Amino acid sequence: MAKERPTAEKGVEDRVLAYGDRAVGQGQATTANPTAQPQPVKPPTPVDLILVDPRGAVPSSVPAALAAEIGAVRRNGWTAPLSGMVNAVFQARKRGMTSQQERFQAGKMDYTFYLVEGHSSAASSWKEVNDWLLDHGLIDAGRGRAYFEIAKSAWEDSSKIGFGMPPQQGFAKAAVVKVDALRKSAKSLPIDRAMLNVLKHEFAHMCGADHGSAGIMLPQAPLAGTPAYDDKAMQRIFLDLARLIASQEPQLKAAYERGNL
Protein backbone atom coordinates (compact mmCIF):
# COMPACT_ATOMS: atom_id res chain seq x y z
CA MET A 1 0.00 0.00 0.00
CA ALA A 2 1.08 3.59 -0.56
CA LYS A 3 2.08 5.54 2.52
CA GLU A 4 0.27 8.77 3.45
CA ARG A 5 2.23 11.94 2.78
CA PRO A 6 2.09 14.55 5.55
CA THR A 7 2.00 18.21 4.60
CA ALA A 8 5.10 20.08 5.67
CA GLU A 9 7.75 22.37 4.26
CA LYS A 10 10.64 20.90 2.34
CA GLY A 11 14.06 21.08 3.98
CA VAL A 12 16.75 23.30 2.61
CA GLU A 13 18.63 21.51 -0.16
CA ASP A 14 22.22 21.78 -1.30
CA ARG A 15 23.35 24.32 -3.87
CA VAL A 16 21.65 23.75 -7.22
CA LEU A 17 23.43 23.37 -10.54
CA ALA A 18 21.10 24.25 -13.41
CA TYR A 19 20.85 24.01 -17.16
CA GLY A 20 18.01 24.95 -19.49
CA ASP A 21 16.71 27.00 -22.36
CA ARG A 22 13.47 28.89 -22.70
CA ALA A 23 11.04 27.51 -25.27
CA VAL A 24 11.69 28.87 -28.74
CA GLY A 25 9.28 31.42 -30.06
CA GLN A 26 7.18 31.89 -26.93
CA GLY A 27 6.04 35.31 -25.80
CA GLN A 28 7.30 37.25 -28.81
CA ALA A 29 5.26 40.25 -29.95
CA THR A 30 3.93 40.02 -33.47
CA THR A 31 5.50 42.40 -35.99
CA ALA A 32 2.48 42.24 -38.33
CA ASN A 33 0.34 44.28 -35.93
CA PRO A 34 2.35 46.94 -34.07
CA THR A 35 -0.56 47.57 -31.66
CA ALA A 36 -0.76 43.94 -30.52
CA GLN A 37 0.21 43.35 -26.90
CA PRO A 38 3.06 40.89 -26.33
CA GLN A 39 2.05 37.69 -24.61
CA PRO A 40 3.71 37.05 -21.24
CA VAL A 41 6.52 34.53 -21.34
CA LYS A 42 5.82 31.56 -19.12
CA PRO A 43 8.85 30.86 -16.92
CA PRO A 44 10.53 27.49 -17.43
CA THR A 45 9.51 24.67 -15.10
CA PRO A 46 12.32 23.42 -12.82
CA VAL A 47 13.07 19.72 -13.21
CA ASP A 48 15.04 18.51 -10.17
CA LEU A 49 17.54 15.67 -10.60
CA ILE A 50 18.35 14.67 -7.02
CA LEU A 51 21.39 12.42 -6.50
CA VAL A 52 21.15 10.87 -3.04
CA ASP A 53 24.77 10.05 -2.24
CA PRO A 54 25.16 8.97 1.41
CA ARG A 55 28.70 7.60 0.95
CA GLY A 56 30.20 10.31 -1.28
CA ALA A 57 30.42 8.11 -4.36
CA VAL A 58 29.32 10.74 -6.90
CA PRO A 59 32.17 12.72 -8.53
CA SER A 60 31.72 16.48 -8.21
CA SER A 61 31.46 16.90 -12.00
CA VAL A 62 28.47 14.58 -12.40
CA PRO A 63 25.48 16.74 -11.28
CA ALA A 64 26.17 19.64 -13.66
CA ALA A 65 27.01 17.28 -16.52
CA LEU A 66 23.83 15.25 -15.97
CA ALA A 67 21.61 18.35 -16.07
CA ALA A 68 23.40 19.67 -19.16
CA GLU A 69 23.30 16.43 -21.12
CA ILE A 70 19.63 15.68 -20.45
CA GLY A 71 18.59 19.26 -21.18
CA ALA A 72 20.52 19.21 -24.46
CA VAL A 73 18.91 16.03 -25.83
CA ARG A 74 17.66 16.73 -29.34
CA ARG A 75 15.47 14.63 -31.63
CA ASN A 76 15.18 14.93 -35.42
CA GLY A 77 12.36 17.33 -36.21
CA TRP A 78 12.54 19.22 -32.92
CA THR A 79 13.05 22.97 -33.19
CA ALA A 80 14.96 23.09 -29.88
CA PRO A 81 16.67 20.77 -27.39
CA LEU A 82 14.54 18.97 -24.81
CA SER A 83 14.74 21.86 -22.33
CA GLY A 84 13.29 24.23 -24.91
CA MET A 85 10.68 21.79 -26.22
CA VAL A 86 9.08 21.41 -22.77
CA ASN A 87 10.10 24.86 -21.48
CA ALA A 88 12.01 23.45 -18.52
CA VAL A 89 15.25 24.10 -16.67
CA PHE A 90 17.06 20.96 -15.55
CA GLN A 91 18.70 21.26 -12.13
CA ALA A 92 20.94 18.65 -10.51
CA ARG A 93 22.42 18.35 -7.06
CA LYS A 94 23.87 15.67 -4.85
CA ARG A 95 22.96 15.38 -1.20
CA GLY A 96 23.01 12.99 1.75
CA MET A 97 20.32 10.46 2.54
CA THR A 98 16.76 11.72 2.45
CA SER A 99 14.49 11.59 5.47
CA GLN A 100 11.18 9.78 5.31
CA GLN A 101 9.38 13.12 5.43
CA GLU A 102 11.36 14.41 2.43
CA ARG A 103 10.50 11.24 0.51
CA PHE A 104 6.82 11.73 1.36
CA GLN A 105 7.07 15.27 -0.04
CA ALA A 106 8.71 14.41 -3.38
CA GLY A 107 6.91 16.40 -6.06
CA LYS A 108 5.93 15.74 -9.64
CA MET A 109 9.11 17.26 -11.10
CA ASP A 110 11.49 15.53 -8.63
CA TYR A 111 13.62 12.73 -10.12
CA THR A 112 15.39 11.04 -7.21
CA PHE A 113 18.34 8.67 -7.74
CA TYR A 114 19.70 6.65 -4.79
CA LEU A 115 23.38 5.84 -5.27
CA VAL A 116 24.13 3.21 -2.64
CA GLU A 117 26.07 0.00 -2.05
CA GLY A 118 24.22 -3.14 -3.11
CA HIS A 119 26.53 -6.09 -2.44
CA SER A 120 29.40 -4.91 -0.24
CA SER A 121 29.66 -5.06 3.54
CA ALA A 122 28.13 -1.55 3.56
CA ALA A 123 25.17 -2.61 1.41
CA SER A 124 21.66 -1.35 1.98
CA SER A 125 19.04 -4.08 2.40
CA TRP A 126 16.15 -4.72 0.04
CA LYS A 127 13.80 -3.81 2.89
CA GLU A 128 15.41 -0.37 3.12
CA VAL A 129 15.22 0.12 -0.64
CA ASN A 130 11.62 -1.11 -0.75
CA ASP A 131 10.70 1.35 2.01
CA TRP A 132 12.25 4.25 0.06
CA LEU A 133 10.12 3.37 -2.96
CA LEU A 134 6.94 3.15 -0.86
CA ASP A 135 7.77 6.45 0.85
CA HIS A 136 7.93 8.10 -2.58
CA GLY A 137 4.34 7.02 -3.16
CA LEU A 138 4.97 4.05 -5.45
CA ILE A 139 2.37 1.31 -4.99
CA ASP A 140 3.26 -2.38 -4.73
CA ALA A 141 -0.11 -3.59 -6.02
CA GLY A 142 -2.06 -3.79 -9.27
CA ARG A 143 0.08 -2.94 -12.28
CA GLY A 144 2.68 -1.54 -9.92
CA ARG A 145 3.42 -5.02 -8.52
CA ALA A 146 5.32 -6.02 -11.66
CA TYR A 147 7.66 -3.02 -11.32
CA PHE A 148 8.45 -3.93 -7.72
CA GLU A 149 9.23 -7.51 -8.76
CA ILE A 150 11.60 -6.25 -11.48
CA ALA A 151 13.23 -3.87 -8.99
CA LYS A 152 13.78 -6.60 -6.40
CA SER A 153 15.26 -8.93 -9.00
CA ALA A 154 17.64 -6.21 -10.21
CA TRP A 155 18.63 -5.36 -6.63
CA GLU A 156 19.48 -8.96 -5.77
CA ASP A 157 21.36 -9.68 -9.02
CA SER A 158 25.00 -8.64 -8.60
CA SER A 159 25.38 -8.28 -12.39
CA LYS A 160 22.69 -5.58 -12.50
CA ILE A 161 23.70 -1.97 -11.81
CA GLY A 162 20.32 -0.48 -10.98
CA PHE A 163 16.71 0.13 -11.88
CA GLY A 164 14.27 2.99 -12.45
CA MET A 165 10.62 3.02 -11.37
CA PRO A 166 8.21 4.81 -13.77
CA PRO A 167 5.26 6.93 -12.64
CA GLN A 168 2.67 5.22 -14.90
CA GLN A 169 -0.33 7.62 -14.89
CA GLY A 170 0.87 9.36 -11.71
CA PHE A 171 4.04 11.20 -10.71
CA ALA A 172 5.75 9.02 -8.07
CA LYS A 173 9.10 7.72 -9.31
CA ALA A 174 12.60 6.83 -8.11
CA ALA A 175 15.75 5.08 -9.29
CA VAL A 176 18.45 3.12 -7.49
CA VAL A 177 22.04 2.67 -8.68
CA LYS A 178 24.35 0.17 -6.97
CA VAL A 179 27.67 2.00 -6.99
CA ASP A 180 29.68 -1.11 -6.09
CA ALA A 181 28.21 -2.98 -9.09
CA LEU A 182 28.90 0.10 -11.24
CA ARG A 183 32.55 0.24 -10.15
CA LYS A 184 32.96 -3.48 -10.86
CA SER A 185 31.43 -3.20 -14.33
CA ALA A 186 33.31 -0.02 -15.25
CA LYS A 187 36.69 -1.55 -14.38
CA SER A 188 39.27 0.94 -15.72
CA LEU A 189 36.76 3.20 -17.49
CA PRO A 190 36.31 6.74 -16.13
CA ILE A 191 33.76 6.37 -13.34
CA ASP A 192 32.19 9.80 -13.93
CA ARG A 193 31.33 8.93 -17.56
CA ALA A 194 30.06 5.47 -16.61
CA MET A 195 27.89 6.93 -13.85
CA LEU A 196 26.45 9.59 -16.16
CA ASN A 197 25.41 6.97 -18.69
CA VAL A 198 23.70 4.85 -16.04
CA LEU A 199 21.90 7.88 -14.57
CA LYS A 200 20.66 8.94 -18.02
CA HIS A 201 19.45 5.37 -18.63
CA GLU A 202 17.51 5.30 -15.34
CA PHE A 203 16.12 8.80 -15.95
CA ALA A 204 14.53 7.49 -19.14
CA HIS A 205 13.00 4.59 -17.19
CA MET A 206 11.56 7.13 -14.72
CA CYS A 207 9.89 8.72 -17.76
CA GLY A 208 8.40 5.38 -18.78
CA ALA A 209 10.89 4.51 -21.54
CA ASP A 210 11.67 0.86 -22.23
CA HIS A 211 14.92 -0.83 -23.20
CA GLY A 212 15.98 -0.48 -26.82
CA SER A 213 18.19 -2.31 -29.30
CA ALA A 214 20.90 0.35 -29.50
CA GLY A 215 22.34 3.36 -27.69
CA ILE A 216 21.99 4.24 -24.05
CA MET A 217 18.76 2.24 -23.59
CA LEU A 218 20.36 -1.14 -24.22
CA PRO A 219 19.38 -3.50 -21.37
CA GLN A 220 22.81 -2.87 -19.84
CA ALA A 221 23.63 0.80 -20.41
CA PRO A 222 26.98 1.28 -22.20
CA LEU A 223 29.50 2.69 -19.73
CA ALA A 224 31.92 4.26 -22.23
CA GLY A 225 31.43 7.17 -24.60
CA THR A 226 28.23 9.21 -24.92
CA PRO A 227 25.61 6.90 -26.45
CA ALA A 228 22.39 8.59 -27.54
CA TYR A 229 18.77 7.92 -26.67
CA ASP A 230 16.89 6.12 -29.42
CA ASP A 231 13.90 7.83 -31.01
CA LYS A 232 11.32 5.96 -28.91
CA ALA A 233 13.06 6.87 -25.66
CA MET A 234 13.34 10.55 -26.62
CA GLN A 235 9.65 10.69 -27.51
CA ARG A 236 8.69 8.97 -24.23
CA ILE A 237 10.83 11.39 -22.19
CA PHE A 238 9.30 14.39 -23.99
CA LEU A 239 5.71 13.17 -23.58
CA ASP A 240 6.06 12.32 -19.91
CA LEU A 241 7.72 15.60 -19.00
CA ALA A 242 5.03 17.51 -20.90
CA ARG A 243 2.31 15.49 -19.14
CA LEU A 244 3.70 16.22 -15.68
CA ILE A 245 4.27 19.91 -16.36
CA ALA A 246 0.70 20.32 -17.59
CA SER A 247 -0.98 18.33 -14.79
CA GLN A 248 -1.79 18.88 -11.12
CA GLU A 249 -0.46 16.52 -8.46
CA PRO A 250 -3.84 15.59 -6.88
CA GLN A 251 -5.24 14.50 -10.24
CA LEU A 252 -2.07 12.56 -11.08
CA LYS A 253 -2.11 10.80 -7.72
CA ALA A 254 -5.78 9.86 -8.11
CA ALA A 255 -5.19 8.44 -11.59
CA TYR A 256 -2.23 6.38 -10.34
CA GLU A 257 -4.20 4.98 -7.42
CA ARG A 258 -7.12 4.01 -9.67
CA GLY A 259 -4.75 1.92 -11.77
CA ASN A 260 -2.94 0.20 -8.92
CA LEU A 261 -5.26 -0.19 -5.89
Q: 80 pLDDT exceeds 80?
A: yes
Helices (H), 5-143: 62-71, 82-85, 100-104, 126-135
| 39 within domain boundaries | no
Question: Which residue segment(s) compose the domain that 203 sits in?
Answer: 46-260
Q: 17 pLDDT exceeds 70?
A: no
| 1 within domain boundaries | no
| 106 within domain boundaries | yes
pLDDT of residue 41: 85
Backbone angles phi, psi at 44, to 5 degrees: -65, 145
| 14 within domain boundaries | no
Instruction: Using alpha carbons, list the distances in angstroms from residue 141 to 89, 166, 202, 259.
Output: 33, 14, 22, 9
| 225 within domain boundaries | yes
Q: 158 pLDDT exceeds 70?
A: yes
Residue 93 three-state SS: strand
In CATH, what number is assigned to the domain containing residue 130? 3.40.390
| 36 within domain boundaries | no
Is the model more confident about 53 or about 24? 53
Q: 6 pLDDT exceeds 90?
A: no
| 83 within domain boundaries | yes
Domain count, the chain: 1
Q: 28 pLDDT exceeds 70?
A: no
Burial of 156 (0-12, 13-18, 19+ CB in 10 A): exposed
Q: 98 pLDDT exceeds 50?
A: yes
| 4 within domain boundaries | no
